[in-house]
Amino acid sequence: MKSNAFLTNNYAFEDHIASLIQKCPNMKALRQIHGRLLRNPTLSPQPCTFALCKIISFCALSPNGDIHYAHRLFDDIPQPNVFSWNSMIRGCSQIQNQSREPIALYKKMLCSGFAKPNSFTLAFVLKACSNISALCEGRQVHSHAYKYGLDFSPFVQTGLLNSYAKCEELASARFVFDDISDKNLIAWSAMISGYARIGMVNEALELFREMQEVGISPDEVTMVSVISACAKAGALDLGRWLHSFVDRKGIRTDLVLSTSLIDMYAKCGLIEKAKKVFDEMGIRDTMAWSTMIVGFATHGLVDEALKLFSRMLDSKVKPNNVTFLGALSACAHSGLVRDGRRFWSSMHDLGIEPLMEHYGCMVDLLCRAGLFEEAYSFVKRMPFPPNAVIWRTLLVGCKKNGGQDKEEIIAEHLLQLEPLNAENYVLLSNIYALRSHWDKVSDMRKKMKEKGIKVTPGCSYIEIDGVVHKFIVSDESHPEIKQIRAELKAISKRVRLSGHLPWTSSVLHDVDEEEKENALCEHSERLAIAFGLIKTKAPAVIRVVKNLRFCSDCHEVTKIISQEYGREIIVRDRVRFHRFVGGTCSCNDFW
């Protein structure tokens, strides 16, 4: 009887402690509760596991908690239960979004043998895997789901789906998705998000339509994913339809959704509409301001970008790293060295530590402005080793501004960092081809073949009647390729009659001029523009998205097309927007 009474008292005391923890406002109060637990004379030498787990849970998961305190308590438990492990794994994921610690904790849990993972354990670990795109570990957790009979848990299935989608492993994600018998909103959103992430806009929208057909109403999170897919592919008509869908269905337009609409309109070439969405926002956070500034910058609207930056400061919204990336890139696109230096100083004044990307913007700015030697000295003074992007920017600077004495040094750094990146070999080959050093071009080709390196093909997208069409350099797969090639011939004839001679010096092959001209005509953006001319009539704008930077000859030819055909053409390449009207480009040939 005495033993039963003792246990009853213990349980009552633990329940009392748990109720206090539930109302606990901060760590100061939590420490007092913990002290009371330790001082209770009726307890056994080891504190009650249930109450201790509750304390760990507060420390690990509460916004007012302390993960380090949780760690110390957790390490003192001889045999933690699954609830404690779950609290620690989830807590570490929340506090350190890009940490591998939750995965390490899970491995430690399995090795301990004291606690068997449940569906929540696997869901929390999969969340950590998705945060850092840990595909290998995610696959291992998937096998554990089968091992422990948790593969049909909705929490585990959704976790697996998110993990595979974040890792861009869409075949596995689709397998998990199809295996879910009762697909909820989260599951549909995660598949859609996976397709959107890699630019498969048609597939993302097909799932979006299927989702509505089965009676699942999208929320703002789903809409952000689909709108982001349109932004990536430059699908303006679809993006507009989705915007109207949000309005028709009364979906809550929060800060994130509004910002995604700004980003979509900016990336689809309709910067005026992006600004309208921005102006109509009641509340704007740092990301909204930054997205608009970046939008102006990529469109070459430098004055608008810099004025908006000043308005942001006047509104007492503190800029962040993204804001300064937008401001610095705006300066780089227009050669505003003085303004770029001013923003560089402002970052330090505001206590914002420049990232590698900011150093890259400054190097780009100096190289574009013809200040190659200053750019090279700037790189040599960096507080950390430059990445491949910065060395590549310098190499482009060599190509444009001379600097041949440093060319080999820069190339050596670049190839050491990225020995398997085809872009580096293509860039070097371009430089050698411009100087007719065909032996060095041949050497580059030989190295690529030995290393098994394949060039990323030029790829362009154009949206016609709500369908995104994809063209690859020298593409033969499009069902209307015969008509497209006929249109290309007609374009080529009109361009030549205008007086343009193809800039064949940028073609790598040591072949005759006619073959070089044909190679230029096969570029993906020309195929897309030709298709746009066939399928649309003035005043409709032809909008193209390209994965690589515009080549000089295609840029010049597109200017001529805009004049000869009386069409407005907007091309978004990897760097910025180009708006062609009446034979001129918005970049003023400075890109």
Give pLDDT, residue 11.
62
Mean pLDDT value across residues 22-31: 84
Do 201 and 275 belong to one domain? Answer: yes
Between 10 and 487, the higher pLDDT residue:
487
β-pair partners for 570: 543, 579
Amino acid at residue number 381 = R
One domain, residues 146 and 201: no
* Residue 9 belongs to a domain: yes
44: domain range?
1-71
pLDDT at 2: 44
Averaged pLDDT for residues 115-138: 92
Rounded Cα distance, 418 and 447, in Å: 13
Residues forming a β-bridge with 85 = none
pLDDT digits (tens, 9 = 90+) for 231-258: 888 888 889 999 999 999 999 899 999 9
Structure tokens, 570: 């907007």
Question: If you search the block for the tokens 């073609």, which residue do you land on?
Answer: 507
For residue 99, give the H/E element and its range: none
- Cβ neighbors of 195 (< 8 A, separation 6 or more) are 170, 201, 203, 204, 207, 229
Number of domains in the chain: 5
How far are the Cα atoms of 46, 373, 399, 553 from residue 402, in angstroms, in the given order? Answer: 74, 10, 6, 21
Residues 468 and 564 in one domain: yes
Question: What pLDDT, on the 0 to 100 scale, is given for residue 340?
Answer: 96
**pLDDT 10s digits, 164-173:** 988 889 889 8
219 belongs to a structural domain: yes
91 & 162 share domain: yes
Query: How far does the chain reach from its first CA to its final CA, in angstroms?
Result: 87
- Tell whether 378 and 434 lie within a shared domain: yes
Rounded alpha-carbon distances, angstroms, from residue 198 to 9, 373, 383: 59, 38, 33
Q: Are residues 568 and 472 in the same domain?
A: yes
Classify residue 590: in a domain, yes or no. Answer: no
Coil, strand or helix at 522? coil
Say what the pTM is. Answer: 0.74
Contact 219, 251 (CB under 8 A): yes
In a domain, 368, yes or no: no
What pLDDT score was predicted for residue 489? 93
Are 47 and 94 in the same domain? Answer: no
Model confidence pLDDT, tens digit, residues 356-368: 999 999 999 999 8
**Any domain includes 420:** yes
**What residue type is assigned to position 455 of the chain?**
V
Point out the least confidently predicted range of 322-331, 401-410, 432-441, 531-540: 401-410
Could you report the per-residue pLDDT of 63-112, keeping only the tens digit for each?
778 888 888 888 877 788 888 888 888 888 876 666 788 999 999 999 98
Q: Report the distance separating Cα 313 and Cα 291, nearest Å.
A: 15
Does residue 117 sit in the same domain as residue 140? yes
Question: Residue 509 pLDDT > 50, yes or no?
Answer: no
Mean pLDDT in residue range 433-442: 84
Of 455, 490, 521, the one marking the end of a domain is 455
* Average pLDDT over the chain, rounded to an integer: 87
pLDDT band (50, 70, 90) for residue 416: very high
How many residues are given for the chain? Answer: 591
247 domain-assigned = yes
